[in-house]
Amino acid sequence: MEILIVGTLNGQIGAASKIAVSKGGQVSLADSVEKALDILRSGKTVELVMVDVTLDVHKLISSLETSRINVLVVACGVANDTSLAVKAIKAGAKEYIPLPPDPELIGAVLAAATRENHALIYGDKKTEAILKIAKQIAPSEASVLLTGSSGTGKEIFSRFIHDNSKRSNNRFVAVNCAAIPEALLESELFGYEKGAFTGAVARRIGKFEEASEGTLLLDEISEMNIGLQAKLLRAIQEKEIDRLGGKAPIKVNTRIIATSNRNLEECVANGTFRQDLYYRLNVININIPDLKDRPGDIIVLAKHFIKKYSELNELPMKDLSKKAEEMLLNYLWPGNVRELENTMHRAVLLATGDEIDEVAIMLQDKTAIKEKSSAKEVISPVGKTVAEVERKLILDTMESTSWNRSTAATILGISIRTLRNKLKQYQEEGFNIPSSQG
């Protein structure tokens, strides 16, 4: 873990550094907030900032937010710095470490900072099949396009690909193309030189450079305007970028993973997405099904979130009651995993008995509760031909994977070519076959 210590820590900088190094950290030093910001803007990999509580913690954190630099900040100070400690926490510091430093406390903070907050938890066979594909393609250098509805966990799958790639020891950098204003996205991706525009008070390394030798996730790429798409295409093809205000191109070696909750083929057809960029990104396509289509994940994820939020709120762990489990399984989860997480966080706080019961499960959309009569009838294959049974199996599997050929073929244990021929045959026989996602 890369750690940046800012300030003198009341003369305890040596002790803190020694403890951090003994816990597996690599330490850099900055004697002021300004120098710390220069280091962070330069693109240096830093995962934890330990800042002297007597410095301007608010300025540090607000400047990081303005520059959209995501890094964990903890404040350090002597025991009588109580008011400064409170001020630092209010400014956004995630933790306060009293000085002189305690090895166990610093070790706990480092462990919390390094703990993966994007654990991939699953229990459904469809998810297992997707992960099998993701792990198979992860070591390649190919661009990957992840498609699926909002909240299905596309960023977590992206991290899984990175963690299983040859670049896993280098940075994973995520950019949400929908969350950054159009006018700022170019500078966010490619960086800028000092004086490139009003407000550019120092050189800023862009996300492409930050992720060089690692992986860059372009989240919700369909929201990127078509003019910037041309510059992105050039960066991917030529492996070089131009900082705003720069005088020469800069070579980068960045693997791209992109996500979209829209059908990019339709975006290409209506002129909002470049066809050449789509083909460049869509070397490998993985579709993430909605949570309702992978029901085996629901209870496993629910229990994971119960544990997470019980620990976060320092509450005792409680089991899910059977009726609560039934409620979760009989809900369609229009908000997908994100909605499930919020529901379980709320349930942890509202539960009053020994269990988390159905009273604590507050579902947002009452129209999304499954009707018992709507469950698919299980039909015995007896009396059916082998061809009919095979067709039903293939079409049911395609439907359950949101018509993703790669995932369905893996589940069925057949080649994509065989699956494609079968689907073509069924279409010619008059069956409605939607366009496949991959």
pLDDT interval class at 225 (50, 70, 90) = very high
3-state secondary structure the chain: CEEEEECCHHHCHHHHHHHHHHCCCEEEEECCHHHHHHHHHCCCCCCEEEEECCCCHHHHHHHHHHCCCCCEEEEEEECCCHHHHHHHHHHCCCEEEEECCCHHHHHHHHHHHHCCCCCCCCCCHHHHHHHHHHHHHCCCCCCEEEECCCCCCHHHHHHHHHHCCCCCCCCEEEEECCCCCHHHHHHHHHEECCCCCCCCCCCEECHHHHCCCCEEEEECHHHCCHHHHHHHHHHHHHCEECCECCCCCEECCCEEEEEECCCHHHHHHCCCCCHHHHHHHCCEEEECCCHHHCHHHHHHHHHHHHHHHHHHCCCCCCEECHHHHHHHHCECCCCHHHHHHHHHHHHHHHCCCCEECHHHCCCCCHHHECCHHHCCCCCCCCCCCHHHHHHHHHHHHHHHCCCCHHHHHHHHCCCHHHHHHHHHHHHHCCCCCCCCCC
pLDDT interval class at 127 (50, 70, 90) = very high
Query: What is the pLDDT at residue 116?
Result: 46
Ranking 36-45, 298-307, 353-362 by mean pLDDT, the lowest is 36-45
Asked if pLDDT for residue 318 goes beyond 70, the answer is: yes
Asked if pLDDT for residue 375 goes beyond 50, the answer is: no
Give the fold, CATH level 3, of 292-374: Helicase, Ruva Protein; domain 3 (1.10.8)
* Yes or no: domain 125-287 corresponds to CATH 3.40.640.10: no
Query: What is the pLDDT at residue 14?
Result: 86
Asked if pLDDT for residue 1 goes beyond 50, the answer is: yes
Give yes or no on whether 2-114 and 292-374 have one common fold. Answer: no
**Mean of pLDDT over the chain:** 87
* Yes or no: domain 376-438 corresponds to CATH 1.10.10.60: yes
Ranking 40-49, 87-96, 154-163, 341-350 by mean pLDDT, the lowest is 40-49
Q: What are the sequence ranges of the domains in the chain? A: 2-114, 125-287, 292-374, 376-438
Report pTM. Answer: 0.66
Say which CATH class 2-114 falls into: alpha beta
> Mean of the pLDDT values across residues 134-162?
94
pLDDT interval class at 438 (50, 70, 90) = low
